[in-house]
Amino acid sequence: MTSLTGRALRLTVYIGEDDTWHHKPLYSEIVHRAHAAGLAGASVFRGIEGFGASSRIHTSRLLSLSEDLPVAVVVVDGEERVRAFLPQLDELVDEGLVTLEECEVVRYVGRSAGPQDTDPKGKKSL
């Protein structure tokens, strides 16, 4: 299990929901490569409205029936590990925005499968 506290780097990749890599969603490929690279974690967030370099507005409102909604893939890990992952993004991301921000990890705790994950009051830990 990866341990992460203190200073870290947040990598955010802004792409379109319909962007693909070898007939597979691009966001999924980024997450799977981040996992294979041993990064601490990655999450994909689907936007309900936005625009990028093309200035075309993408929205989930029913009347617009737009597809290709904005997606953000967020990865947080130590600076060296995140920067080592950047060449893979160069290969994958043709259109989009990639940002890096310094951040501080306050708490990073994974789940395990056993009943030992409950506190004395019977609540599941994070």
Residue 122: per-residue pLDDT: 53
3-state secondary structure of 109: coil
> What pLDDT is stored for residue 120 in this prediction?
52
Q: Has residue 96 got a pLDDT over 80?
A: yes
The more confidently predicted of residues 5 and 79 is 79
pLDDT score for 121? 52
* Bridge partners for 7 per DSSP: 104
At residue 25, what are phi and psi to the nearest 5 degrees?
Answer: -55, 130
Q: Which whole number is the average pLDDT over 36-41?
A: 95
Task: Tell which residue, 46, 102, 54, has the closest CA to residue 77.
Answer: 102
Return d(Cα 105, Cα 15) in angstroms, integer: 25
Residue 125 confidence class, pLDDT cut points 50, 70, 90: very low
**Over residues 116-120, mean pLDDT:** 51
Predicted local distance difference test score (pLDDT) of residue 110: 79
Is the pTM higher than 0.85? The answer reads no
Q: Of 88, 82, 50, 85, give the one whose Cα is nearest residue 66.
A: 50
Which percentage of the chain shows pLDDT scores above 90? 61
